[in-house]
Amino acid sequence: MVRRIAWVLAGAGAAIFAGITIGLFSHESHIRVPAIAALVTFSAIILSYLGGIEGGLALREESGSERTRAVALALSGVPALAGWGVLWLDSPQWQLGSAIGLLAAVWAADLALSRHGLIPSWFVDLRTAVTAVACAILGVAVYLL
């Protein structure tokens, strides 16, 4: 049941990215400007959420080594801080481009943590699929800007 819920939540997040990006096809500034702000903000929120997942998994003593859990816990705040930093960049292209890079970096960290037994393989499969979709959608958004 947990896997199913995780896939539904991840799919909903990708759908939100896609739905907001559709607003960028409009030539009306009263639609485009809020859509850009929503994409940037949602990207920062998702990065925070992903860091929180890593932190939560690091607290579980049943998985991974003590060292792996310590590294994961130490790094778990980085996605939130980086997402907050994205909000301060001076153009939407830089903001969304950075969000793409950060989503990929957090995915790579999850992959590494999975290899050390902290993150289950099914979650890496989910993250791989949804990160690819989210990055592609954000790439379209950057192109439309």
Distance CA 86, CA 93 (A): 11
Q: What pLDDT digit, counting tens, does each position of 104-127 carry?
A: 999 999 999 999 988 899 999 999
Confidence grade of residue 64 (pLDDT, cut at 50, 70, 90): confident
**What is the tally of structural domains in the chain?**
1
Binned at pLDDT 50, 70 and 90, residue 23 comes out as very high
Query: Average pLDDT, stretch 119-136?
Result: 95
User: Residue 137 is part of which domain span?
Assistant: 2-144
* pLDDT for residue 80 is more than 90: yes
Q: What is the pLDDT of residue 61?
A: 82
Torsion of CA 42, 43, 45, 49, to 10 degrees: 130
